[in-house]
Structure 1
Amino acid sequence: MLANWLSSAGDTTADFQVATSAGFTFSDNCGNTAEEHTNTGSATVSVVYHYCVAKEVPPTETGCLCERPSPHYRRPGSLLLFPEFDNRMGDVSVLTVTNTDCTGAAGGQNVDVEFIYIDEDGCAEYNKTETLTPCDTLTLLTNFHNPNHEQGYVYAFAKNQDGDPIVWNHLIGSLLVISGFQAFDYGLNPVVFQGMGDQGTLTDIDMDGNRDLDGAEYEPAPDTILIPRFLGQDPPPAKGQVAGFRSQLILIALTGGRQFDTQVCFLFWNDNEEQFSAQHTFSCWEKPYLDEITFAFRNTYLKTTDHDLDEIIGADHRESGWICLQGCLATSAQESIMDPSIYAVLVERVGSFGVADLPFECGIRMNGALLPDHIFGDGDPTPVNGDNQ
């Protein structure tokens, strides 16, 4: 019994002390002799217990040092954020969502996916629900799926048959944007947010109708966005000329909602570690050219700085650098939110060629939500002034 208990008690040590004293002897009729001994013993058992203590929520990042990771990387989730759709004349966006659950943990069930299109003009919303069977994939043209909006972003999330958002960490997706007018295209993965909890459980914990990116309903948004390269920008081309280096930065406001303007703070460096800063304010969703944010992204300006004369290696006539950006302030007519959550994607363009990739991320911010429509932003569940969400 003691041995069984010791084997299940964790880290244990046991010391046994045994003493023996001789008793009397006797012989039987066959000449065999036996000696009786009295044995006394004691045991000391030392048990070490290991306690698991809940981890505190890590503080948000406070700069570009990137000391803490962001939770987002390429794995299936319950909510997919597609940074752009473009339904303008001559442009096509091809969007795909796939249900990777076939016969696994979720039991091979159907799942509803709600697509919510957010237009750049006032954050107007258009939603549509599609059903994915096990192992199903759905590809659509956004201008057929949503003919009402021209440009903005899309998020898609899993729901049960009752229409309630659920944890369903089996969704993956992709996006292809083709610009017939500007004669270039690029592909991009969505930003994936996993649902918090067991598969199939409800995510709208505070029942406010928003998808909260707060670590309780879905994974939080990143604190800091890091873009490893930008190229020195050319001025807008004259009419009839082909554009040179004309990159654009997709900006998505993830805190506050439709009633808020969001200020983004930029730090960026040239190719010789010289630092610059800028600020830019936008509403909802925007895709400005880099030199519309600040003229300091222009190649001609970067040439006047203390740049590295030997870089870019092999093309030293073109300047380069990297960008770090964060949400600084979101404001409505009645509320100010410090350190709002944002997302950003750089779409690089050289002439008729375009390319994009998701940025690097650091830290977390717990005040993201898709998509409040209150002058005080999000709430738990009632929006109030001063709660910084």
Structure 2
Amino acid sequence: MQGTTIGVAVIGHAFMGAVHSHAWRNVHRFFGLAWQPRQVVLAGRDRARTQAAADKMGWPEVTTDWTSLLERSDVDVIDICTPGDSHADMAIAALAAGKHVICEKPLANTLAEAERMASAAAEAAERGVRAMVAFNYRRVPALAFARRLVADGRLGELRHVRATYLQDWLANPDAPMSWRLRKEHAGSGALGDIGAHIVDATQFVTGEPIEGVSALTDTFVRRRPGTATGNGRLEDVTVDDCALFHGRLRSGAVASFEATRYALGRKNSMRLELNGSRGSLAFDFESMNELHFHDGTNPDPEAGFRRILVTEPEHPYLEAWWPPGHPLGYEHTFTHEIADFLTALADGSQPRPDFADGLRVQRVLDAVQRSAANSSQWTAVDAAPTTVGSR
């Protein structure tokens, strides 16, 4: 670290690498930060593609050897935007080298890997080295405001949670294979890719862990045109296409979850609804600047959900942005994530969600897989020592 700047390296330059790069490039222009990021180097497997991405996203240097980042004195933070099969090795090595780490979700491909990562992060924290897992939906202002309403008791005793994440990009059976459809790279399919988000969002907004599940998963298209062979030969899909499960929170509230990439017409519909003894709230990411709230204490003639446009400066994160009524977009959630991360580093505090929170999500994913493999038998989620509701 040099003065008030902090050197950053990003590993990966595709979808997640691009949106993280956008956040690193712009965060200090909107948020008053004690430490400002300095883009140092972008890492990728193919030099030509990595260089093209670096030119586009403002990285002055590239490397095809991510391990070289560990020895660089000008790199203080390593941001991991790669498929899940590389998360454990990269994060553990970076923490051991004294680098702060941001790692994309889900934390790992397996529970064993996630446990190793959380243990490494806990040890690094004792040396002042911090780690955060990138569940960006916590930084949607409407969901952060929903968390505030729940914490303030506006919903009363929580009774029901309904969480869905619906996409349709795999509905065409002729869509080609990708790394997201191979278990050795992705760990799981819809469950880990998008189901992890609604598990974390539920635990974040409610402030409660999921303690048990009953689940089923399915794969609708089991073979797809291969991309590696180049000859049109079909390859096996080795992950789930959808995951459905019921759960129970620590308070006793019941919850239902659905994650699928086969919901025709739904592009990125991440929905969350909570019902309590005093009120309800509902959110849909396809209308990400809105939160619907029902105050059950109002008299019946006035009852009903009301739409809250979450663009006021008093709402979470909004003071840094535009005048009321001017909506934000997907990319802003990552800018908020980086702002929170840098603020925690400057304060010497633990950024959230940390690897312990990521492990909590991984334990739920693992319980879902075990339940689905055992005829939907009720399966307990192993306990993990973490406070799930903190920002």
TM-score normalized by the length of structure 1: 0.26
More helix by share: 2
More strand by share: 1
